[in-house]
């Protein structure tokens, strides 16, 4: 039994079954035993690999995207460059190295990283120090925040790669009498967690897209309230103060049904209720819902585009050719493999999508 098992079983005994969102929030975010509080989950020795860890090309192209947006926004100085869930800091380090080509950009930007994990904050600081040591200094050292609500005011460029998938979702199942929440209860017979269906309706079911009401009995719909609140807040900020945000994740572009809640441990899918705190838990991102709330808040959503298409439009094939030409003998095959992983429809090219939220005055950001 993991320590969180104990905590959750006591909580269920006292207050009844948990929503999936409550379960995800504890399993990922518990300050002592949560998945992200206790480890660096990334890379070959961890549980999963992300795009910036596959190739430097990913962060470089996003850095150039930020620099081009800054130019289109009229070169505000200062400008916030923020990242949500920066992992090991690899994306931001590659982005800053590439963005040096835009004169004045590095001097104007103030770096803000939103990260809860102490382990990953340390990795991010080390990655950024190595960039600073190699080139022109940033005007100010980076700041860390626990939530995006702590970001200071001002024009904002924001990146979020594989962040929204970690935000809690609730699940509802279609029954003959409407949507009922799938909750997580305690099964004394097996001494473990199990799914239970709530008997009474819940007002949060009103957040399910009405077109899904014709789904067959048994169909599952997901509602990510935390993601929607965050996208609305980003939309409001960007409309009021200028800026652009790029949200990259696996997810779906149109409202749909399906159970996308999953656990990954050591690069394999695992039972998401088996060992809370020990596996990465995610749900696919509902891009249509994020775009809708950001639009209501005053920003203009662009996309979502498939990741492969977006990276090709930003010039990933040309960047790969440059790296290949300079590669030491034997390294160019690895560049091609990375290019395929990031862009191929059978790999990350289609499942991963890119949504931009932009200030109404800015027009379409690069790639859209």
CB 89 within 8 A of CB 127: yes
CB 145 within 8 A of CB 198: no
Nearest residue (beta carbon) to ligand SAH: 85
The minimum distance between CB 24 and ligand SAH, in angstroms, equals: 10
The closest alpha carbon to 41, from 224, 277, 249, belongs to 277
Q: Which stretches of 61-191 are assigned E, i.e. beta strand? A: 79-84, 109-114, 143-145, 156-161, 170-175, 178-187
Closer by beta carbon to ligand SAH, 20 or else 120: 120
For residue 336, the surrounding DSSP H or E stretch is helix 332-343
The minimum distance between CB 126 and ligand SAH, in angstroms, equals: 14
Among 17, 29, 227, 308, binds ligand SAH (CB under 6 A): 29
The closest alpha carbon to 224, from 192, 195, 260, belongs to 260
Is 278 a binding residue for ligand SAH by CB under 6 A? The answer is: no
Q: Which stretch binds ligand SAH (CB under 6 A): 81-89, 180-188, 296-304, 312-320?
A: 81-89
Tell me which DSSP letter residue 346 carries. Answer: T
Among 17, 34, 52, 304, binds ligand SAH (CB under 6 A): 52
Is 116 a binding residue for ligand SAH by CB under 6 A? The answer is: yes
**Nearby residues of 167 by Cβ (< 8 Å), 6 or more positions away:** 24, 224, 226, 227, 230
Among 60, 115, 249, 286, binds ligand SAH (CB under 6 A): 115
The token duo for 356 is 């931009």
For 276, phi and psi rounded to 5 degrees? -55, 135
Distance CA 185, CA 8 (A): 9
Contact characters 151-190, ligand SAH, x per CB under 6 A: ----------xxx--x------------------------
Among 18, 67, 109, 120, binds ligand SAH (CB under 6 A): 120
Please work out, in degrees rounded to the nearest 5, the angle formed at the alpha carbon of residue 343 by the alpha carbons of 341 and 348: 60
Distance CA 139, CA 111 (A): 9
The closest alpha carbon to 86, from 134, 139, 122, 56, belongs to 122
Is 91 a binding residue for ligand SAH by CB under 6 A? The answer is: yes
Is 114 a binding residue for ligand SAH by CB under 6 A? The answer is: yes
Q: Which stretch binds ligand SAH (CB under 6 A): 69-77, 113-121, 306-314, 329-337?
A: 113-121
Is 57 a binding residue for ligand SAH by CB under 6 A? The answer is: no
Distance CA 78, CA 17 (A): 48
Among 26, 53, 60, 286, binds ligand SAH (CB under 6 A): 53
How many amino acids of this chain bind ligand SAH (CB under 6 A)?
20
Is 279 a binding residue for ligand SAH by CB under 6 A? The answer is: no
Is 50 a binding residue for ligand SAH by CB under 6 A? The answer is: yes
Q: Which residues bind ligand SAH (CB under 6 A)?
A: 28-29, 36, 42, 50, 52-53, 85-87, 91, 114-117, 120, 161-163, 166
């Amino acid at each position: 039994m993991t320590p969180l098992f104990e905590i959750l079983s006591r909580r269920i005994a006292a207050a009844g079954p948990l929503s999936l969102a409550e379960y995800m929030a504890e399993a990922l975010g518990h300050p002592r035993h949560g998945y992200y509080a206790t480890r660096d989950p990334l890379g070959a020795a961890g549980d999963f690999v992300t795009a910036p860890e596959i190739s430097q090309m990913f962060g470089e192209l996003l850095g150039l995207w930020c620099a081009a947006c800054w130019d289109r926004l009229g070169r505000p100085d200062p400008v916030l460059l923020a990242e949500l869930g920066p992992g090991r800091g690899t994306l931001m380090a590659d982005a800053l190295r590439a963005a040096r080509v835009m004169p004045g950009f590095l001097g104007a930007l103030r770096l803000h990283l939103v990260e809860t994990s102490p382990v990953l904050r340390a990795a991010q600081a080390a990655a950024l120090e190595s960039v600073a040591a190699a080139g022109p200094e940033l005007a100010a050292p980076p700041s860390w925040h626990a939530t995006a609500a702590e970001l200071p005011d001002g024009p904002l460029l924001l990146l979020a790669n594989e962040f929204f998938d970690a935000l809690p979702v609730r699940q509802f199942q279609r029954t003959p009498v409407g949507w009922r929440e799938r909750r997580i209860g305690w099964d004394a017979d097996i001494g473990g967690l199990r799914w239970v269906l709530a008997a009474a309706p819940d007002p949060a079911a009103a957040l399910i897209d009405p077109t899904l009401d014709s789904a067959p009995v048994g169909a599952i719909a997901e509602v990510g309230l935390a993601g929607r609140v965050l996208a609305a807040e980003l939309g409001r900020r960007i409309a009021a103060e200028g800026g652009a945000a790029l949200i990259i994740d696996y997810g779906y572009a149109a409202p749909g049904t399906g159970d996308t809640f999953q656990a990954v441990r050591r690069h394999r899918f695992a039972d998401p209720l088996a060992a809370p705190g020990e596996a990465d838990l995610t749900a696919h991102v509902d891009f249509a819902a994020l775009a809708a709330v950001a639009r209501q808040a005053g920003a203009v959503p662009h996309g979502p585009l498939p990741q492969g298409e977006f990276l090709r439009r930003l010039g990933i094939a040309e960047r790969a050719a440059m790296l290949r030409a300079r590669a030491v003998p034997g390294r160019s095959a690895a560049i091609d493999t990375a290019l395929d992983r990031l862009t191929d429809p059978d790999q990350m090219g289609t499942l991963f999508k890119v949504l931009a939220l932009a200030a109404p005055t800015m027009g379409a950001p690069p790639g859209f």
